[in-house]
Amino acid sequence: GEDVEQSLFLSVREGDSSVINCTYTDSSSTYLYWYKQEPGAGLQLLTYIFSNMDMKQDQRLTVLLNKKDKHLSLRIADTQTGDSAIYFCAESRPGSSNTGKLIFGQGTTLQVKP
């Protein structure tokens, strides 16, 4: 299909790991991004992965990329209440470099319970 798909909601307990999943559409996409949106704010770039990588780690964040299945995941270790937000994945499709268009998923709302 044409859409980038994410599950809409995830609830975890403080201190647990969170895994947010995303299925993208174009196996030749160059970069894939994760954004975080806190209530009432804009989107903040969290991390990204280049398509020739299968894993990227950045402090509590781990991004896994499975190109064969076109599956992207974001793992947050030791989840805190401050991690409660909406998380968006986005793909950069080939041919879009002259416009910079990204295709966004619908966003996953992460709820962290104390």
Partner 1 sequence: DVKVTQSSRYLVKRTGEKVFLECVQDMDHENMFWYRQDPGLGLRLIYFSYDVKMKEKGDIPEGYSVSREKKERFSLILESASTNQTSMYLCASSFGTGFSYQPQHFGDGTRLSIL
Minimum distance from CB of 19 to partner 1 (Å)? 20
Pick the piece of the chain touching partner 1 (CB under 8 A) from 15-23, 40-48, 55-63, 72-80. 40-48
What tokens does 3 get? 């859409």
Between 76 and 86, whose beta carbon lies closer to partner 1? 86
99 lies in the binding site for partner 1 (CB under 8 A): yes
The single residue among 30, 62, 73, 84 that binds partner 1, judged by CB under 8 A, is 30
Rule CB under 8 A: say whether 88 interacts with partner 1: yes
Beta strands in the chain (DSSP E): 5-6, 9-13, 18-23, 31-37, 43-50, 55-58, 61-66, 71-76, 85-91, 103-104, 108-113
Q: Does 101 help bind partner 1 (rule: CB under 8 A)?
A: yes
Residue 77 has which token pair? 């270790």
DSSP for 38-60, written as a single string: -TTS-EEEEEEEETT-SEEEETT
Point out which residues bind partner 1 (CB under 8 A): 30-31, 33, 35, 40-45, 48, 50, 88, 90, 92, 97-102, 104-107
